[in-house]
Amino acid sequence: MFSTSMQRTLWFILLLMLQVLVFNHIHILGYATPMPFFYLLLILHSTTPRWVYIVLGFAMGILVDMFSNTIGECASTMTFLGLITPNLLMMFSPADRSEEGFEPSVNTMQWSGFLRYATAATLIFVTLFFMMECFSFFHIFILLKYIGGSAVLTLLVICAMERIRQSMKKKST
């Protein structure tokens, strides 16, 4: 229990620092910005209470907002994602999951299941974020470029993080 809490705390700090110090400064072709800080919500155990998802989402979002000078966009988007992540996890979880639950990862969901889960969460997060940022549909193609480019880049970073997390688990066992 303590090691799991410590791991989650380290992931929280690492993702916050990476987002604020590195990813916020990457803008490929002016449209694609990786925003993988919601990966923290994706890797929570399936038996985690919904209020923990919401509180962690809000806390991570408000901290990213404070350091990124976005006025509540991340906090509201992360809170919403925290609200629906348990439902997404149940939609994409393996059929043979045990009663005591599982930790979402490539090992428990296979790459196809985890990618579908991460893709759904990424598309929801990025779409809501940029719709709130633009708050207009006058330039729908530019909005779609932001959503598409950022979603692809964010998903690539999430896959890389998952690969690193799995290799770290293999080394520790």
3-state secondary structure (DSSP) of residue 112: helix
Per-residue pLDDT of the chain (173 residues; tens, 9 = 90+): 557 778 888 889 999 999 999 998 888 888 888 999 999 999 988 888 999 999 999 999 999 999 988 888 999 999 999 999 999 998 888 777 656 778 888 888 888 889 999 999 999 999 999 988 877 777 888 889 999 999 999 999 999 999 988 888 777 66
Task: Specify whether the CB–CB gap between 36 and 94 falls below 8 A.
Answer: no
Q: Which two tokens stand for residue 153?
A: 């880049």
CA pair distance 130, 9, nearest whole angstrom: 28
Q: Give burial (CB, 10 Å; 0-12/13-18/19+) of 64.
A: buried
CA pair distance 77, 82, nearest whole angstrom: 9
The CB density around residue 114, as the number of other CB atoms within 10 Å, is 22
Which helix (H) or strand (E) is 81 found in, with range? helix 73-92
Q: What phi and psi, each to the nearest 5 degrees, are found at residue 72?
A: 80, 0
